[in-house]
Structures are given as structure tokens and as C-alpha cells.
Amino acid sequence: MKRFTRTAATVLLLFPAYAVFAYVVMPVSWRQYHRFAGFPRCVGVTRTAEGLSADPLNVAFVGSAAEVASAMRDAGWSPADRISIRSGLRDATSVVFHRPYATAPVSTHVLWGRPQDLAFEQIVGGSPRQRHHVRLWRVNQPADPRETLWVGAASYDRSVGLSPYTGEVIHHIETRVDAERDKLVADLDRTGRLARLDCMDGWRDAGRGRNASGDSYVTDGSISVAVLSPASAGDAGLPAPDAILQILKAAILGPADPAAAS
């Protein structure tokens, strides 16, 4: 009993030190490092808030924010809550005690210097410990919101662990990220909200990469572009595939935020 008490007391004393180190000291250190050293050139890859390479872009949408949210809801995906103390505590509780939390927050990733605009998920096994998820960034601001282009990274969280770079509690992703992209497109197709599916090939090399969680991934280098429709109206009035792919390619390969310039 005394040994247990001493162990528990040690853990309680060390936990604040761990929290400060993993969630304050190391993230700030990485931000300062990238501030002075700059960012390595990584085309088509998101970054963590600390500036570390994260997940590859592999999916895109065409549609207004409301249409994207509606189609994802019909496909069985839930919008992720914003990160806050309350949502963070609820997320931690749901993972530790295996409780459902269908709208658990996802970590912040950055593209063109800004965090994701939208994020959706589909939990597996009753808790956010394992889940399908996608982060989306708005690419342009057209006169017609239905022509808004979004690009994102879809992946599957297979387990929970510690970041090798900061020590934070993070998710580890499944290696085959394109399988998650294909699952997302298939879910949308079943809703009848997918007006057309385009594909952007050849903009980056296929192969392996490694993200900020220390996970290796394999991608074919393609982006599936899901053109949404509020009703099954065929291709009438939809943006031309070549126009969509031209905007998307210029945005991804360009250094500046395309949404700020549109």
C-alpha cells in the first residue's frame, strides 16, 4: 500500500512537469527553430502547429461550405469540435475510458500558414481512439459559393501514442493514406451527392513519407476531386474539370495563400 501511495504521489508530482515540457516548452522550441532555420520545401504536405511535416494532401471538394457539411453528414461523417479546454478534457476522457465522442476535436494542421477551415471524422469502435478523419482548407473565394474549391488530407487514426518530437499525446495514422481517401469518396458516392469525380495526377511523385507523429505513409500522389451537387442534376452548371485542376495545381505548388488572393 505504501509503495502504491508513493508511486501515485510521484506520478502526480511529475505530471505538471511533463505537461509543461510537452505542451509548452517543446512546441515553442520547434516554432522558434523554424522561425530562424526556415521550413524545408515539402510540396503537397500539411504541417503541424510547430511547423513539422504532417499529412499528404489527397482529396479535394467543390461546393459551398454548407454543401460540404451537408454531404459529409449524409455520408456518416461528423464535424469536429474546435479545440478548447472543455473539448480537450472530454476527448481525453473518451479515449481513456473508451466513451463515445463523435465530434472530438482534431489537432491543428497548417497549410499556407493557416489552420484547417473544416474537419470531419467518423469514429470506430465507440471512441475517438480510432477514427477516419479529414481536414479541409478553402482554396478560393468565387462569386458563386457553390464553386468553392477545398483541398485536404484524409487519413485513418489507428492508435494513440506520444509524439517523438514534442512528447504530446497524439494519434498514429495508418500507412495507406489513399485507402482513406477512397473510403471517403465511396461514402459520398453512396449519398447521391457526388455529381462528378475528377482526379489530379502527376503533380507530385508517388512514394513514401513520414509525418510529425513519426508514422510512415505511402501515397500514389493523386488527389480525388469530389464535385458536389445539392441535387442530382448531372453535370449541368458544374465547373469544368480542367479549370478545377488548374486552380488546384497552382494553389498547391504556389508559395502564397490562394484564398487571400482570390
Q: Where are the domains of the chain?
A: 1-38, 44-261
Alpha helices in the chain (DSSP H): 2-20, 26-37, 65-74, 85-96, 177-191, 241-253, 258-261
pLDDT of the residue at 261: 62
The number of helices, as runs of H, and strands, as runs of E, in the chain is 7, 14
**Mean pLDDT over residues 84-105, rounded?**
84
Alpha-carbon span 76 to 103, nearest angstrom? 12
Q: Which range is least confidently modeled, 13-22, 118-127, 169-178?
A: 13-22
> How does pLDDT run across 195-223, given as a tens digit for each residue?
999 998 877 778 898 888 889 999 999 99
- Residue 232: which pLDDT band, with cuts at 50, 70 and 90? very low
